[in-house]
Structure 1
């Protein structure tokens, strides 16, 4: 049986190449990309173009890349590096760089893309829409059916805060140190549908809940459903959305490897008739807060008991939980070694604060991150 495929969507911040301030040039980058594609393929054949696609996101100061579905983590890291390099190359044409930062360290007046749906969001959610200039990493893992997708969502939910803790990369916001490792997770929580959910139980109940949420009128459509993990409407995957974009590509692939192993472990539990863990959603919200606040430096909440434990113990519990699945895909060395490195060297949040100590200002943080992103 082939391994489940895994892919990553990354939201990258566009920043000025000299000042480090966020730059609203996404529409220019995308227009130039479209023009280049028309010149390279005048007959309209887009098969080759699909490998080079960059996409718009909510704000003009960010851009999205995505990988193809991959079975091997080594292929995933190569493609992530290639995507980041391509995005940076195109941003440079407009005097910008891309930076794998989950928030802008420097103050920014975010500009929403001139897309009709996004403009409707401004009228509907006001300042919340404008301030959602945050960059996450969305991991897609293949599933065999809708039934398996919902069963997986029900069983991975207690473990998702640990993925957030390992990915934290947003300590600065609007020019100041927030005292959080992931302030992106705080900003994201303002979105009406964001966060963990109760156990769904079935495909029918999942759809019923989504339909009921849209019917309230608070959400414009089902695409605004922003659970920490959801069943993808576009692909035969579950989409795990809890992580910050990672500064280091190796960290991104550790998160992807752990996520795939979580999905496979959950699917095995479902097939074996094992019920989901009965962890209250209210506790999971606190676990997310704890993970975003202190990352791997302080205590995390145990995924099954909800009690505080040392971060290393909680991360180790996650690795132990998915170890059989990691062995099945041959990912154990990559993931286990990567987790040890993160626990020892820290996450992107640690690297950002170290850059601030070296350079003495937030401009240094951004430009250091742009170089790290390109490398």
Structure 2
């Protein structure tokens, strides 16, 4: 069975709920208190682009229940270390307040800031990245091409950034709109094979529009660190089980890619489907990957589950996934929950404080 790993980016905030530039301090505490490095990847805290955020990752797991437990443990571990710096972690894909964020004191971060100006300045955003293991790059590219029409559905399920710089945006995932300003971000055309993928990467590097391969920000890409496909389209999820759901669906899609190939829509159509997913999340219509037409979000999510049903059943994940999908559709993704708190009278700081509680809930 394919292994899964999940990377999550979190905001670092004060106990009162304001973003706080303490990543360097948190990382110093982490190096002193966390377990010694092992040969197994994952389990550590890592720097991100801004001082107001931190990243954690799970070790690779095949069992979905074990992965969900690792996600919770990683959140608890990260929050414990953040407390040593007087901060907490919040699984919000964007801060609701007006924030002047700060890049890490890092040569590469400074180079990105200098080259990309306002695009880099605005990038206080937090995503959820799923890694699924592959045999080789040929298999990985086959999975990447199969994922193309389904990535927007994954984004819709994860939407968790309805506010930006002190305003309500009208989007479930405004993070994806901000993230989409990078020159490599978003949906891609089919690659066909590993040689085609490598040709695109080499072409992007030769343009000089990105500094290195680490700035290949496709919705899904071949990992440069591990033998995995890395699916990067999702917002960080408010609820830990929603992150595990992302992982289960990605593995199901990876297995489905080994069957009959799907028709490949044009990238322009995928961009429109991705925008729709960012705009309405699971509250309105989504573009069906099967027909290219709008349908209620619940019906499109059901199409995704049906598409990966055999793979989920073989992995023993089907019953859990069906329950969790029903939970998300009933309870709402992070964006819906944040808007619900607003309706109850919560201001920006209170939204963040409630998100902290939800982030580390057992």
TM-score, normalised via structure 1 length: 0.94
1:28 pairs with one of 8, 20, 25? 25
Structure 1 residue runs without a partner (length 5+): none
- The residue aligned with 1:373 is 359
Q: From the superposition, tell whether residues 291 and 130 of structure 1 become closer, same or farther in structure 2 (CA, over 3 Å).
A: same
- Whether 1:8 aligns to 2:6 is yes
- The residue aligned with 1:344 is 330
- The residue aligned with 1:155 is 146
Secondary structure of the residue that 1:126 maps to in structure 2? Answer: helix
Secondary structure of the residue that 1:214 maps to in structure 2? Answer: helix
Structure-1 separation of matches of 2:37 and 2:256: 37
Displacement after TM superposition at 1:88 (Å) = 0.8
- The residue aligned with 1:193 is 184
Displacement after TM superposition at 1:50 (Å) = 7.1
Structure 2 residue runs without a partner (length 5+): none
Q: From the superposition, tell whether residues 52 and 4 of structure 1 become closer, same or farther in structure 2 (CA, over 3 Å).
A: closer
Structure-1 separation of matches of 2:328 and 2:115: 40
The 8 Å contact of residues 245 and 321 in structure 2, kept in 1 or not, is answered as: yes
Q: From the superposition, tell whether residues 46 and 345 of structure 1 become closer, same or farther in structure 2 (CA, over 3 Å).
A: closer
Q: From the superposition, tell whether residues 31 and 305 of structure 1 become closer, same or farther in structure 2 (CA, over 3 Å).
A: same
Q: From the superposition, tell whether residues 50 and 229 of structure 1 become closer, same or farther in structure 2 (CA, over 3 Å).
A: closer
Displacement after TM superposition at 1:149 (Å) = 0.3
**1:179-258 counterparts in 2 under 5 A?**
179-258=170-249
- Whether 1:119 aligns to 2:110 is yes
Q: Deviations over 1:220-262 (max 9, x none)?
A: 1111011000011110100000000100011111111111100
- The residue aligned with 1:284 is 270
Q: Deviations over 1:313-362 (max 9, x none)?
A: 11111110000000010000111111111111110111111122224311
Q: Deviations over 1:3-38 (max 9, x none)?
A: 1111100001101112x111000000101222346x
Structure-1 separation of matches of 2:39 and 2:3: 21
Structure-1 separation of matches of 2:33 and 2:39: 13
- The residue aligned with 1:315 is 301
Displacement after TM superposition at 1:106 (Å) = 1.1
- Whether 1:69 aligns to 2:60 is yes
The 8 Å contact of residues 41 and 59 in structure 2, kept in 1 or not, is answered as: no
2:339 pairs with one of 353, 357, 373? 353
Q: From the superposition, tell whether residues 235 and 293 of structure 1 become closer, same or farther in structure 2 (CA, over 3 Å).
A: same
Q: Deviations over 1:160-183 (max 9, x none)?
A: 100000010000111111110100
Displacement after TM superposition at 1:130 (Å) = 1.5
The 8 Å contact of residues 21 and 107 in structure 1, kept in 2 or not, is answered as: no
RMSD: 1.5
Structure-1 separation of matches of 2:237 and 2:43: 21
Secondary structure of the residue that 1:29 maps to in structure 2? Answer: helix
Structure-2 separation of matches of 1:190 and 1:30: 28
2:71 pairs with one of 67, 76, 80? 80
Q: Deviations over 1:283-332 (max 9, x none)?
A: 10011100011011111001132211111111111110000000010000
The 8 Å contact of residues 95 and 163 in structure 2, kept in 1 or not, is answered as: yes
- The residue aligned with 1:301 is 287
TM-score, normalised via structure 2 length: 0.97
- Whether 1:172 aligns to 2:163 is yes
Displacement after TM superposition at 1:51 (Å) = 6.6
Displacement after TM superposition at 1:276 (Å) = 4.0
Secondary structure of the residue that 1:342 maps to in structure 2? Answer: helix
- The residue aligned with 1:136 is 127
